[in-house]
């Protein structure tokens, strides 16, 4: 039986996969697992709940709040805020756990439910499995004064912005930036905090209506941002995804600066400032080989993990490291937060520009991206990727042919029904050729 939780919470088509009934049962089960420590100490558990602006979040958050309160949990309703804001507020208010309703970069019809433990940390697999196992249990329900209370959290927005400004190492005076909020949770927060930090801000994708999240805007659709940066003569553009735990950038010429380049810039910056713990960066196996090569030149060690910011975070916590992230733009500053924070990442990137007086293109030149081809193969059984011997033999053959000048990675998506084929090589034609051959093998061997 497949796990209920994926790499980033429970996610699927809202009102089909992610229903109000599931949200209620899941929140009740979570209340008993995540609120248990509070009850042991004679306290009533409390939780922070937030969501992104997508329409289904309205009824799903209502179901989650109802489930938590019915299980005796006091709820602080923060409404629409970025995922990292909910993680921060969970820690800042000393809540027992937090809940975020979001499907991140997915299209509007999807939604998801993710939980944060005490301190704003993502849950371990074992805790998620414990919650899933309790979905259908019948509980003794509190009554009278023992039911949970629900209050709004009007200062959540301000508390989060104050936190971001407090950790910024340099003001942004003189920097002109275009912010693309993906019509998502960053729409009000990101432009405001950049202005407060001193930047001149132009906005696109910051008018959420519940239906337009990630629709042609944001970190998965950069064309509008590229055009706006050039048209406004801006120094850079910042693109968030729907829940603002990601950040991609665009330089003054309209050229994309991806998560690997952002991490390279920030690792060098933090190393120079003496705040890069153990001079080490944590990245995933999806990061470009060019990042590894660049960091080696700069005297920075790179530790690689499986794909997913939760695994990056686990590695960082295990080894007390301060910077990690993914090519997709999830960047974690463990000294300042417990999850990827796209707004903070954008601020740190702009601060590096302001403090050095260098352009983003110049800063990004610290690494050369090897040509990388990524193909999402649909209509296949992703569960058989690791077990199919002929497929694995084909991968080994292609890797041997690249002879260290590139690499191959096949993996099943944790959030979508696809197999991802990623190839890096010395030139783009070779990368496309290798990827094409492997895609054919995936389709032949794993076709449904």
Same domain, 274 and 341: yes
What pLDDT was estimated at residue 173? 98
Q: CATH code at 398?
A: 3.30.310.50
Same domain, 289 and 197: yes
Same domain, 91 and 170: no
**Looking at the domain assignment, is residue 3 inside a domain?**
no
245 assigned to a ligand binding site: yes
Which residue's structure tokens are 């509980």?
139
Same domain, 210 and 358: yes
241 assigned to a ligand binding site: yes
What pLDDT was estimated at residue 235? 98
Q: Which residues contact 347 (CB under 8 A, 6 or more apart)?
A: 164, 168, 172, 193, 194, 197
- Is 27 in the active site? no
Residue 76 CA neighbour count, 13 Å, CB half: 23
Same domain, 142 and 262: no
**Looking at the domain assignment, is residue 306 inside a domain?**
yes
Give me the residues paired with residue 74 across strands. Answer: 46
Which two three-digit tokens encode residue 154? Answer: 């009007």
> Beta 176-180 vs 110-116: how paired, if at all?
unpaired
The Cα–Cα gap between 245 and 341 comes to: 4
**Looking at the domain assignment, is residue 82 inside a domain?**
yes
Split into its structural domains, the chain has a count of 3
Closest CA to 205 of 312, 53, 345: 53
How many CB atoms lie under 10 A from the CB of residue 36? 11
What pLDDT was estimated at residue 3? 79
What pLDDT was estimated at residue 415? 67
**Looking at the domain assignment, is residue 181 inside a domain?**
yes
Same domain, 324 and 186: yes
**Looking at the domain assignment, is residue 4 inside a domain?**
no
Same domain, 129 and 260: no
Same domain, 182 and 65: no
Q: What is the pTM of this model?
A: 0.89
Q: Three-class SS of residue 276?
A: coil
Catalytic residue (choose from 56, 61, 102, 104):
104
Same domain, 26 and 142: yes
Whether the CB-CB separation of 290 and 264 falls below 8 Å is answered with no
Same domain, 359 and 239: yes
- Given 307, 342, 364, the domain boundary residue is 364
Q: Three-class SS of residue 266?
A: helix
Element (H, E) at 298: none
Which residues form the domain of 243? 159-364
The Cα–Cα gap between 217 and 207 comes to: 11
Q: Write the CA distances from 179 to 85, 186, 350, integer angstroms.
A: 18, 9, 12
- Given 344, 364, 384, the domain boundary residue is 364
- Strand blocks (E) in 164-241: 176-180, 200-204, 236-239
The Cα–Cα gap between 268 and 279 comes to: 9
Same domain, 279 and 424: no
Q: CATH code at 239?
A: 3.40.120.10
The Cα–Cα gap between 67 and 148 comes to: 9
Q: Three-class SS of residue 340?
A: coil
**Looking at the domain assignment, is residue 180 inside a domain?**
yes
**Looking at the domain assignment, is residue 213 inside a domain?**
yes
What pLDDT was estimated at residue 123? 92
> Beta 248-251 vs 236-239: how paired, if at all?
antiparallel
- Given 110, 138, 154, the domain boundary residue is 154
**Looking at the domain assignment, is residue 5 inside a domain?**
no
Same domain, 430 and 360: no
What string of pLDDT tens digits covers the 448 residues of the chain?
567 888 789 999 999 999 999 999 999 999 999 999 999 999 999 999 999 999 999 999 999 999 999 999 999 999 999 999 999 999 999 999 999 999 999 999 999 999 999 999 989 889 999 999 999 999 999 999 999 999 999 999 999 999 999 999 999 999 999 999 999 999 999 999 999 999 999 999 999 999 999 999 999 999 999 999 999 999 999 999 999 999 999 999 999 999 999 999 999 999 999 999 999 999 998 899 899 989 999 999 999 998 888 889 999 999 999 999 999 999 999 999 999 999 999 999 999 999 999 999 999 999 998 888 999 999 888 888 888 899 999 999 998 998 777 889 888 887 678 899 989 998 899 999 999 999 999 999 998 7
């Amino acid at each position: 039986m497949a796990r209920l939780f994926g790499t980033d919470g429970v996610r699927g088509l809202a009102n089909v996969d992610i229903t109000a009934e599931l949200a209620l049962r899941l929140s009740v089960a979570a209340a008993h697992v995540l609120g248990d420590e509070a009850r042991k100490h004679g306290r009533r558990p409390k939780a922070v709940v937030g969501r992104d602006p997508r329409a289904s979040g309205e009824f799903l958050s209502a179901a989650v709040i109802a489930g938590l309160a019915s299980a005796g949990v006091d709820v602080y309703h923060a409404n629409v805020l970025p995922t990292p804001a909910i993680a921060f507020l969970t820690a800042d208010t000393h809540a027992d756990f937090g809940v975020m309703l979001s499907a991140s970069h997915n299209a509007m019809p999807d939604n998801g439910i993710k939980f944060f433990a005490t301190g704003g940390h993502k849950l371990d697999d074992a805790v998620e499995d414990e919650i899933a196992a309790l979905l259908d249990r019948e509980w003794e329900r509190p009554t009278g004064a023992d039911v949970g209370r629900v209050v709004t959290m009007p200062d959540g927005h301000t508390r989060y912005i104050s936190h971001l400004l407090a950790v910024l190492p340099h003001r942004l005076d003189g920097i002109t930036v275009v912010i693309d909020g993906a019509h998502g949770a960053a729409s009000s927060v990101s432009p405001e905090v950049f202005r407060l930090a001193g930047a001149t801000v132009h906005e696109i994708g910051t008018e959420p209506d519940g239906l337009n999240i990630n629709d042609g805007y944001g970190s998965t659709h950069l064309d509008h941002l590229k055009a706006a940066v050039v048209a406004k003569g801006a120094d850079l553009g910042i693109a968030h995804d729907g829940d603002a735990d990601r950040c991609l950038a665009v330089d003054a010429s309209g050229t994309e600066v991806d998560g690997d380049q952002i991490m390279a810039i920030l690792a060098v910056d933090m190393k120079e400032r003496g705040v890069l713990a153990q001079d080490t960066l944590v990245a995933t196996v999806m990061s470009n080989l060019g990042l590894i090569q660049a960091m080696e030149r700069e005297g920075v060690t790179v530790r690689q993990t499986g794909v997913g910011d939760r695994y990056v975070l686990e590695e960082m916590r295990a080894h007390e490291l301060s910077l990690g992230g993914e090519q997709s733009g999830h960047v974690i500053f463990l000294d300042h937060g417990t999850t990827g924070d796209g707004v903070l990442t954008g601020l740190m990137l702009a601060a590096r520009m302001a403090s050095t007086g260098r352009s983003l293109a110049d800063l990004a030149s610290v690494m050369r991206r090897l040509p990388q081809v990524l193909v999402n193969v649909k209509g296949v059984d992703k569960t058989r990727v690791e077990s199919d011997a002929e497929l694995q033999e084909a991968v080994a053959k292609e890797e041997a042919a690249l002879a260290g000048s590139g690499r191959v990675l096949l993996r099943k998506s944790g959030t979508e029904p696809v197999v991802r084929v990623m190839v890096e090589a010395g030139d783009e034609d070779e990368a496309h050729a290798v990827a094409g051959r492997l895609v054919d093998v995936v389709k032949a061997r794993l076709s449904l």
